[in-house]
A = this chain, B = another copy of it.
């Protein structure tokens, strides 16, 4: 065994568009998107990735780019990467692909990120009724610690893709009814159904018949599903492992949408510190592992979910302030054991609380999206109230934010630890708000 310099299998040229990269990216899941590279197990390889918008959001002090972004053409993934074992035998459907995250970081020359909320009329977010305008915050990295990568996903088989498209179209069709009950979200797309608009399909040439067919079948990459995908689990970092089911020969592993930091739920939608970057990965194959370790939960053997393993190097905080929410919405209406409503309440409670300490509500919303806060399902059985909590590590603030009999005077505040969140919240221009958006 020799020392291993990770082999760069998917390079990115940040000056080029996603579809002009030497190994073109893709923003849909489809079994027929051909692999752009091949790796063998036990090899450490490097994958570079654009940020999830492919460079549409800029390092500037205007949120206009956020306001008018075309979300149909976003969320690019690098890959697919075909995985074979030492004898050249590819991962096969039914295997479990073990992906170990060896290293990750920003791309040289691109050490910055952003957190944003979309306009209510263009994507919105978890609290879009409370924060209807596009906002943006820019963060500059100083090499500290990048974590919370996007989880890689494997390509779906044709059968799994059909299952996705069918069940998600069901939500789309029944949308109005659901909305009436939820009253949570307004003009947001209910699902991200296949559509040729904005489709980027890697090596498959646009304009061909093949492209047309695949583009109309291929699943959006935004929601996480059986194949992994956009799970956004905040604790995945160096030393973690992902166990992904394999649905097509070679596994066809893709990855993208890297985050510098995020809180549980990534609540503002574009809520992590979004960035371009690289991953150094190592794969292993557990032959027959799907049957051995995963249990299908649904009508077919394909209804499974990945497993993750988190290691001992995540940042640890010793003290937390915890906000609670119950499944009663802002109008005072009771929902039945609804954890989504309860978590929304917990987040709103935390935003209002932080506002009392000198942050604007928009700052607090973005902060809770991207700082290492934990969102917990605390009670899911004591009818009628689900109970969700949001725990914030107190160490990230420059002041003691705990309730006190004699509260310190409120003024403009900065986060305590620029070494955790290289925050542009400088009191002058913490968040760039597009004026026309608020009017």
Contacts and interface: CB of A to CB of B under 8 A. Distances in A.
A188 interface: yes
B321 A379 contact: no
Nearest to A376: B264
A370 B323 CA distance: 22
A141 to B, nearest CB: 7
Contacts of A287: 405
Interface stretch (A17-25, A27-35, A164-172, A247-255): A164-172
A339 interface: yes
A391 to B, nearest CB: 7
A436 to B, nearest CB: 24
B381 A126 contact: yes
A375 B388 CA distance: 10
Chain A contact-residue range equals 35 or more
Interface stretch (A62-70, A86-94, A96-104, A201-209): A96-104
B337 A185 contact: yes
B343 A309 contact: no
B321 A309 contact: yes
A181 B176 CA distance: 13
B377 A143 contact: no
Contacts of A305: 323-326, 345-346, 349
B224 A379 contact: yes
Contact of A3 (B59, B223, B303): B59
Nearest to A75: B382
